[in-house]
Structure 1
Amino acid sequence: MNDSPTPCAGCRNGEMFQHPISMAFQPIVSVSQQRVHAHEALVRGADGAGAASVFAQVDETTRYAFDQTCRATAIGLAQRLELAQSGALLSINFLPNAVYDPRACIRVTLKAAEEAGFPVDRIMFEFTESERVNPAHLLGILQHYRALGFLTAIDDFGAGYAGTGLLVDFVPDVVKLDMHLIRNADQCDHRRIVLRHTVAMLQDLGVTVVGEGVETLGEYEVLREVGVDLMQGYLFAAPLFEALADPVWPQALTGGTGWEAPRRRSDGAKRPQAS
């Protein structure tokens, strides 16, 4: 039985998403080196509207076109912002269920990178494990992307379907810990225990760990205690529309004064994904 997605006619004809989109970028930082390790591209409307307004236009017939358009848009904008020249990676989310064939569906990405002059070894593909996907299909995508020189990452690790089972067959370059594990970890012994053992396992496998959704100094300090150096979240910088954010370094790291932690996101919503 083949559980791989079946492309619609528009997909086979190479049609792109018909609704204008753009990107915001949020940095992933190395707190020990005080530098930006990567910028994650997060989908927005062409006018800066939130991701929800874009996702409202995505269904089974437009999913492939949406995924492809997000990739090309992120690469083109990142090149205009000279992201690669800064030494940082470009992190792009992708939808495994939009990829009906890894070899065919990567062509738009490769063409966009070539036309923009963006090096493929500076691109990291994230997928969220919250999307149910055939494991063999996902494994084929990840193996093909790695063979082409792309970095691979599991997003929201610990929150969805892939989990540790995927690590038996494929070890990604990066794992991003789900923000639910991190939220208020400084106030929860259970979270700290799970974080400590999860990080140790991933490091034993040679995986680079990112703590995402970091919003408070307490969460930051717990991640540092368990050995996480790469972090992402509103504590450092909010996503910027069509621009690269400069992170703010916490007082606990820099030893400086006058630093004030940003407020939590008032809506409590999960960080919007790109594609």
Structure 2
Amino acid sequence: MAFQPIVDVRNREIFAYEALVRGIDGSGAAEILSQINDDNRYQFDQTCRVKAVSLAAQLGIDSYVSINFLPNAVYEPAACIRTTLEAAQQHRFPTSQLIFEITENERVVDKDHLKRIMQEYRRRGFKTAIDDFGAGYSGLNLLADFQPDIIKLDMALVRQIDTSPVRHAIVQGILGVCQALSIDVIAEGVETHAEYRSLRALGVHYFQGYLFARPAFEQLPTVSWPAD
């Protein structure tokens, strides 16, 4: 796993670290994810959760840890979370510090099943998030079916938002919806000071991206704080 911080710029604190899958040789996520199939999807999903929790404990992370999961790998929510709970107990990592992200780029076969997963996770005290919001299969329809604690704006909406009136208007609309639904918003993939300033002016205060820190392989990177 590599870890990339999600920062709260209001008080210059780390809100969370996202655990990002890597090969044991440091190879990127795309290469690893390309090897997932119906035969290994469940085992891969479970192994990633355990690895993320164990490394988070080893690194002494005291913020949230955000873990991506594959909804199509979860056959029964309560049973599939058991391994995660056992890992947290074994490594003495508080389950109250876990966030589970579903990426909008994975086509969800059964939305009712996904809703049950998210409800079970929230019942157990985990935070839930929709990753890559605005770039996937369902868009606002997914948000209408269930409301997570967090959405992460896809980097395609963030990129050059400072010079794109269309992106600016779309993000402004999403922020209005999320404010009405009491959903926190993270802008991911932020790379320039201009993007950061535009998003700050819109009211975003959670950020993730190269402007702040690149992912670090099995360690925690140093954060660079941009000037407002």
- TM interval, shorter chain, is over 0.9
Counterpart of 2:42 (choices 53, 64, 68) is: 64
Task: Tell me, yes or no, if structure 1 residue 167 matches structure 2 residue 143.
Answer: yes
In structure 1, the residue matched to 2:85 is 110
Q: How does 1:152-191 map to 2 (within 5 A)?
A: 152-191=128-167
In structure 1, the residue corresponding to 2:22 is in which secondary structure? Answer: strand
Counterpart of 1:48 (choices 12, 15, 26) is: 26
Task: Tell me, yes or no, if structure 1 residue 80 matches structure 2 residue 58.
Answer: yes
In structure 2, the residue matched to 1:96 is 71
Identity within the alignment, %: 53
In structure 2, the residue corresponding to 1:192 is in which secondary structure? Answer: helix
TM-score by length of 1: 0.80
Q: 4+ residue runs of structure 1 moved beyond 4 angstroms?
A: none
Equivalences, count: 227
Instruction: Give the Å deviation of 1:52.
Output: 2.9
Greater alpha carbon shift after TM alignment, 235-244 vs 101-110: 101-110
C-alpha separation between the residues in 1 aligned to 2:150 and 2:76? 23
Task: Tell me, yes or no, if structure 1 residue 29 matches structure 2 residue 7.
Answer: yes
Any unmatched runs of 5+ in structure 1?
1-22, 254-275
TM-score by length of 2: 0.97
Any unmatched runs of 5+ in structure 2?
none
In structure 1, the residue corresponding to 2:128 is in which secondary structure? Answer: strand
Counterpart of 1:227 (choices 203, 207, 212) is: 203
In structure 1, the residue corresponding to 2:101 is in which secondary structure? Answer: strand
Q: Which amino acid aligns with 2:85?
A: L
C-alpha separation between the residues in 1 aligned to 2:29 and 2:169? 33
Q: Which amino acid aligns with 1:94?
A: F
Instruction: Give the Å deviation of 1:92.
Output: 0.2
In structure 1, the residue corresponding to 2:38 is in which secondary structure? Answer: coil
In structure 2, the residue corresponding to 1:91 is in which secondary structure? Answer: strand
Instruction: Give the Å deviation of 1:130.
Output: 1.3
Residues 102-125 of structure 1: CA deviation (Å, up to 9, x unaligned)? 111111111111101111110000
Instruction: Give the Å deviation of 1:166.
Output: 2.8
In structure 1, the residue matched to 2:122 is 146
Instruction: Give the Å deviation of 1:198.
Output: 0.8
